[in-house]
């Protein structure tokens, strides 16, 4: 849910107008709209490059995942890893656009540790994967954009840890 939606819903629940502080927060959110949309567009347009760089970094850290019997040893499992990279990158763009971590949590993190444990996917490896994805993604952004996007990747890794 976006900052604007949150303010409106909270004020309505309390049968009041938004406070001046809430309006200031909304103003800041709206003023950063163009950069947040630019970040989302850059990440979406660069998905293949980001995913490719991130998977190379991850499998350099954990070559055992690609070795026989590893979690990404077969073509199917490897492609599922790449699919997950794209999925997490997309989740980050949702958070950036909303200016809030709520979409990431609601759409992608509820039960994620349990799911990976059930699939015998090492959660520590997933945390490393998101760190590699973050590094690759921030590499296609300028410093200001990277500073805005970075906390969303960090939120995912903290939630998985």
Condensed to tens digits (0 to 9), the pLDDT of residues 89-99 reads: 999 999 999 98
The DSSP code for 73 is -
pLDDT for 137: 98
**Local confidence band at 45 (pLDDT 50, 70, 90 cut-offs):** very high
Tell me where in the chain the CATH 1.10.490.20 domain(s) lie. 33-160
Q: What's the CATH architecture for 33-160? A: Orthogonal Bundle (1.10)
Report, as an integer, the average pLDDT of 57-64.
Answer: 95
Burial bucket for residue 161 (CB in 10 Å: 0-12, 13-18, 19+): exposed
Query: What percent of the chain is modeled with pLDDT above 90?
Result: 65
Query: What percent of the chain is modeled with pLDDT above 70?
Result: 99
> CA-to-CA distance for 93 and 76, rounded, in angstroms?
26
How far CA 125 is from CA of 2, 4, 106, 136, in Å, comes to 31, 36, 22, 16
């Amino acid at each position: 849910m976006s900052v604007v939606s949150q303010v409106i819903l909270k004020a309505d629940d309390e049968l009041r107008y938004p406070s001046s502080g809430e309006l200031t927060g909304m103003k800041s959110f709206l003023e950063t709209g163009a950069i947040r949309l630019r970040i989302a567009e850059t990440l979406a347009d660069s998905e293949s490059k980001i995913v490719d760089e991130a998977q190379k970094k991850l499998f350099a850290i954990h070559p055992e995942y690609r070795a026989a019997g590893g979690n990404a040893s077969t073509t199917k499992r490897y492609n599922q890893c790449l699919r997950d990279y794209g999925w997490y990158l997309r989740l980050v763009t949702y958070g950036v656009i909303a200016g809030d971590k709520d979409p990431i949590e609601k759409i992608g993190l509820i039960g994620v540790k349990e799911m990976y444990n059930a699939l015998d996917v090492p959660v520590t490896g997933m945390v490393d994967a998101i760190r590699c994805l973050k590094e690759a993604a921030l590499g296609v952004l300028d410093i200001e954009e990277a500073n805005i996007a970075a906390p969303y990747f960090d939120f995912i890794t903290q939630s998985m840890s």
